[in-house]
Structure 1
C-alpha cells in the first residue's frame, strides 16, 4: 500500500532561491533552472527575508560565498541558528579551493558545492538530483506518518475495547485506572522516575495502564481489585494471570506494532514477581527494574491500599503512604520514595 501511494505522487517544481550580488551569475542560473520559479536576492539579508516568508515553498537555495552586507557563511550561521532550512538543500557557489571553507560550510548545512566557472549540464543534474532526493524523502515521511497514524488509531481502538471488557469484568477498574494514571503522570513527568522516557513514551505508558488488569479477562466471574496482602493462593493466581497477560500482550504487540502494548507487557512481566514487596526494590535477582515500572506499580499499589482501607481523600492517601514508609509492604527504591516526597501535595490532590 505504501509503495502504491508513493508511485501515485508526482514531484512538483518548486521555487529556487538564488543568492548572488552578480547580475550575470543570477541570469545564467535562472536560465539553467528555467523550469523552476526563481527568486533572486542580492545578499544574505535579503535572502533571509525571503526564506522567512517562503521557506516551505523552496526547492533549493543557490548561495554565493562572497557578497556584500552578509556573506555566505554568515548567512548559513543565521539560517542554522533560526532552523530555517532543515528540509531544503543549500548549494554554495564559489571559485575557491579551500578545505577549511568546505568544512565550515558542510557543518553549517551545505549539501554540495557549485564550482565556478559553471558547467550548465553538470550543475543542473547535480542540483536536480538532490532536489528530487529531498522531495522523495519528504513524501516518504508524510506517507510513513500516515501509516503510523493508522497503527496508532488501530492500537488505541484495541485498548479502548479491551479496557471496556476489563471494566465489565473487574469491579471499580475504571476508577482504579483513572487514579493510577493520575498518580503515574505526576511521577513520570515531574520527577526522575520518568527520566529515561521521552514525552511520547510517557503518554504511551499512561495508555498502557488501562491494560494492567488484562489477565483477569481469563477469569469467568466478576472480580474485585487484588488484596494489598494476598495470601499464597492469591499470589499464585496473580502470577498465573500475569503470565497469561504477558502472552496476550506479546501477541497484541506483534499484530499492532503499537508501543503501549509493549509497555503493558513490561508491567505484566514484573507483576508476576510482585510477591512480598520485591516488585518495588531496584532488582529482582540480577534483573534491573526500570524506575518507570516501579513508579506505575507504586501508584497502583497505593490506590489499592486506599480502596481496601475504606478511607478516602487525603486521609486515605496519607495513611497508605505511612504504611509503605513503615515497611509493611517490603523494600522500596529510595529514588522512588524521594520522588513521592517531592511531589506529595500533587499526589494527595488526586484524592481531593
Structure 2
C-alpha cells in the first residue's frame, strides 16, 4: 500500500474521467478499483458483452479500458476486435490484463491496437504507473490536437478576412469605374447576381464547382474596369458616339485586361483568369462580329458569354446617360431578335428560362 501512496497523482481529465474495468473476477475488480479510484471514476463490467456495450455508449467519458481476456459471453480479444473495427483504440487506450499472456494472444492484441499487456497477478504500483503514463500521453496528444484545431480555425478565419478584403477592393475598384460613368455601383452588383444566378440555377453551370461559379461571378464585377482609360467626354457623352469615339470606347476591353495584368496581388486570386478573360472578351459576339479579337462561337468562353448577356440585359433594363430604360417586354424582344448582339442559342434558352426571376431585381425584389 505504501507504493500506491507514493505514486504520482494524475488528476482525472475533464470530460474523460472514467476508467473502465472489464473483468468477471470480483477479486480482480476489487483490486483494480482500489488502485485507481483515487485518480479516476471507476466503471465496471463483468463480461465482455457488457464491457463492449458500456464502451460504445459512454466512449466520450472514458480515459482508459482495462480488459480481461477470459470472460463469459465475449472474451477480451473479441471485444478488442470490435473496438478495433471502429477505430476506438486510437482514441481510448486499452490495456489487456491476463494470466494467459501467450505469444499469439499478445501478438494479436498489439495488432488490434492495445497499448499494453499486463500480466496477472497484478503488481499495484507497476500497473498504476504504466496505465497513468499512457493516459497522460493520450491526454497530451488530445490537447495538442485541440491546439492544432484552434490554430487551424484561426488561420482559416484570417484567410477568410483576406478574401473578404480582396473582394471589397475589387468591388470598390469596379464601383469607382461606374461612378465615373455617372452610374451607381448597383450595375456591377447586378451583373454579379445575374451571372451567379445563370450559372448556379441553369444547365449553364453544369459541371462547374461552387468555387468556380463564385469566382466567375466575382470576376464579372471587373468586366468594365478598362473604362478607367476612357475620357469622360466619351464615357459620359449623352448622344451617339462618332466612329472615332467608338473605337476609343472599344479599347476599354484591351485596357481592362492590361490593367488586371498589372495588379500582382490579383494574380493570386482564383478569380483572376476569369476576370482577365471577361474584361477582354465580354463584347465578343457569337457570330464573330464582336471585338476586340473577333472570336466566334465556342471560341468565346462561357464566362465571357454569360457576362456579355448579363451586361446587355442590365443596360437595356436601366436608364443610362444616353437613353431611358426600356420596358421589360421590349428588352426581351431586342435580346431575342438579336437587335443588341448575337448570342449562343443555348445561352438564350437558359436565360429565358430564369428571366422572370432575374427581372425581380428591377422591381426592387430579390432573386
Helix, strand or coil at the partner of 2:221: helix
In the alignment, which residue of structure 1 is the partner of 2:342? 330
Which residue of 282, 294, 299 maps to 2:305?
A: 294
Aligned CA RMSD, in angstroms, stands at: 5.0
How far apart are the structure 2 equivalents of 1:206 and 1:60? 50
In the alignment, which residue of structure 2 is the partner of 1:114? 114
How far apart are the structure 1 equivalents of 2:185 and 2:66? 60
1:159-213: CA deviations, max 9, x gaps?
Answer: 3431342132123353432432332232122123233444354344434333222
Contact 2:19 2:43 in 1 (8 A): yes
Compute the displacement of 1:155 (Å). 1.2
Which residue of 327, 332, 348 maps to 1:318?
A: 332
Task: Say yes or no: does 1:283 pair with 2:283.
Answer: no
In the alignment, which residue of structure 2 is the partner of 1:10? none
How far apart are the structure 1 equivalents of 2:353 and 2:66? 53
Task: Say yes or no: does 1:212 pair with 2:223.
Answer: yes
Helix, strand or coil at the partner of 1:117: strand
How far apart are the structure 1 equivalents of 2:93 and 2:165? 46
How far apart are the structure 2 equivalents of 1:314 and 1:41? 76
Which residue of 138, 145, 156 maps to 2:167?
A: 156
Report 1 or 2 for greater relative contact order, CA contacts < 8 Å, sequence distance ≥ 6: 1
5+ residue gaps in structure 1? 1-12, 80-87, 103-112
How far apart are the structure 2 equivalents of 1:310 and 1:48? 71
Helix, strand or coil at the partner of 2:114: strand
How far apart are the structure 2 equivalents of 1:186 and 1:206? 9
1:114-157: CA deviations, max 9, x gaps?
Answer: 34416659856874675365335313312321321331242133
TM-score of the superposed pair, with normalisation by structure 2? 0.59
How far apart are the structure 2 equivalents of 1:215 and 1:247? 8
Change over 3 Å in CA distance of 1:180–1:46 after alignment to 2: farther
Pick the structure with greater CA Rg: 2
TM-score of the superposed pair, with normalisation by structure 1? 0.61
Which residue of 185, 195, 201 maps to 1:190?
A: 201
What is the count of residue pairs matched by the alignment?
A: 298
1:50-96: CA deviations, max 9, x gaps?
Answer: 57xx7xxx99897987449x9426756xx9xxxxxxxx963574767
Helix, strand or coil at the partner of 1:142: helix
How far apart are the structure 2 equivalents of 1:227 and 1:97? 90
In the alignment, which residue of structure 2 is the partner of 1:343? 354
How far apart are the structure 1 equivalents of 2:283 and 2:348? 22
